[in-house]
Every structure is written in C-alpha cells, then in structure tokens.
Structure 1
Amino acid sequence: MCCGQHSNLAVAAGHHADVAGGRQVVASLAAKAAGVRPVRSCLCAGGRRLRPQAPTGRHRRGGSVRIGRDHYIRLDTCDYSVDPAAIGRIVRIEADTETVRAHLDGRLVAEHARCWARHQTLTDPDHAEAATAMRHKYRQSGAVAAAVEVAPPDLPAYDRVFHLIEGGGGQE
C-alpha cells in the first residue's frame, strides 16, 4: 500500500456493501409496514433472475367492499366487474389462486377466473349488458334535477358596493 489505492478500494467496496444492505433493510421495513412478506431476489444457476410465479395451492383471501358507480372491484392490481344491481351495496369478496367471487346477501353477483397479470380489467359480458340497460332505463325515465325557482340577482347592488356607480361605498 504505497499510495493508498488499496485502502480506498476497500472503503469503496465496504460502501457498496452498506448501500446494498441498506436497500434490503428499507425493503424489509416497507414490506412489514404493508403487512406482506418481503420479496427476495432469486437467481437461477446461470445468474439470471427468476420470473415471479403465481402461488400454488388454494390460498384464500377475502373481505368486504362497497361497490362504486363503475360496478368493479379491485383485487391486487386487477379490476373485476360485478352485477350493477350491487352498486352502492357492500359485497363479500372471496378469492383464491383460481377464482374471484363476490356475494351480495349470500347471492353470487360476480365470478371471474383470477388474473395474475398486472393492471387488467375483466368484464363479464352479462354485467356490461346489465349496466347498459340500467343506463338506458335511467335516461328514458326523464330523471333530471328538480327545477327550483331562484330570484334574479340585483346586479346594480354589486356595482354600488364596489363603487362602480354613484351612490356606492358599501351603503346598502
């Protein structure tokens, strides 16, 4: 170590190890906060990363959600359609590795094959047809906002308040 180059290399290598270890700690803390297991980097024999695989077995997941006006439920990153008759109501969701189901008062209102791709929208043709029929029926019923009579505003009063005409000065 005549010029100190070797010691600088050791410090740099230690710094990179600290950064990599810090990333693992941050990822672990983020996963813990989200309530999931941290994903470990998996390498096969050739040094290539392995692609993520769908879980095996019949892992079940469930919960309840209120159906919004768009009549879809979100599970992971995918949206699944629900019978539009359930809009505004709370449905019970059951999901396993193969199917996603939604029940309203014990009645099945949606059943889809589970999609493991990210950011997909799955629409049952029956749900789309029912939504179209409901929109058409709503438009045909003449549902419009109730007309309320409102007195016309006294616009010269504003002119007087803001000194735009004589006699102003806020004396109303």
Structure 2
Amino acid sequence: MAQIIFIHGASSSGKSTLARALQDRIESPFWHISIDHLRDSGVLPTRRFRSGEFRWSAARAAFFDGFHRSLKAYADAGNDLILEHILDTDGWLERLAGLFAEHDVFFVGIHCPLELLIEREAARGDRPIGSARQDYETIHVGKTYDLELSSTDGTDANVETLLASWRSGHRASSFSASSFLLGNRRS
C-alpha cells in the first residue's frame, strides 16, 4: 500500500509551493507529481494546442484518463506520492477514489483568498484569466478533506500542520470510505 498525500485547491492557490516544501521535509521519499510537471517537461505539444493547430478539448479526456491511470500505476508499484491536482471535472473524485482504493490517501484542501488568487493568476500568465475565480467558487464544493489549510498561514506552518495531521493516521475524507472497507488504515 502506497501513501498518497493529495493536495487539492484552486489554480494558483499554493499547491506547488506546499508540495515542494513538504517533499523537502517528509521522512521518506515521496514523488511530487502534477499536471504542470508534464506540461512544463514538453510531454504535451503545448505550443501546438495554444496555436489552435490541435484542439485541447478533443485531447483533454484521454490525457486525464491516462494521467489518472498512471498515478495508480505509480502507487501500485509501491511509490509514495505527493499529488497536486484540481478536481474540476465531474466524476474525477469518484474515479480517483476507485483507482486509489488500495492505498492510504490523505486528502488536503488548500484555500486562498479570491483577491490573492486573481493577483497570482495575472502574475503567472499561464492560466486562462478567470480560471482562479471559477475554481474559487466551485473547487471545494462536495469535497470532504482530512485537512484544510489556508495559503495565508504560510508554507512552513502549513507543512508542520500537514505532517502532524498525516502522521496521526486519522482519515475521514472523500477517499476514506474505500480504504475503510479494505481495512487499509495507517496505524
């Protein structure tokens, strides 16, 4: 059984900063995985999607299906993961809960004030304008977390809080039901 620390929040909420700091402090070797890593590595023909030569809307479903299945493969092989992801499509939470059913998932929601999200979105320039606001209004609806953090509390404090809560072994999130059924709980 792999350990998966799943960091979920709006675009530009601080998921990557938290994940990098967590990876630097956690006591065992966790992979840090995100869609941004794939995009930035050149795996996707991003320039051609942006130019309109290829349609992202036609490729998106297959891309994310493959990404989600790859996460299961990494975990099934025994790799512990720090996953940062935005569950912005209906059915993804349920799909991932099924894929991760045999693993210990610690689901973390990170919140950020709307004004700060909008400021970060504009500064980054790599997100569609308005995506931060849309995420802010919808991204946490219907999710139950093991831990909720605020990006305004600072990275160091959030890492300490996250590690203490993760180490406690208590799980009560949207991912917990399948783990309880299998008896795969951290002690």
Structure number with the higher helix fraction is 2
Bigger share in strand: 1
TM-score of the superposed pair, with normalisation by structure 2: 0.18
- TM-score, normalization: structure 1? 0.19
Q: Which has the higher contact order (CA 8 A, sep 6+)?
A: 2
Is the radius of gyration larger for structure 1 or structure 2? 1
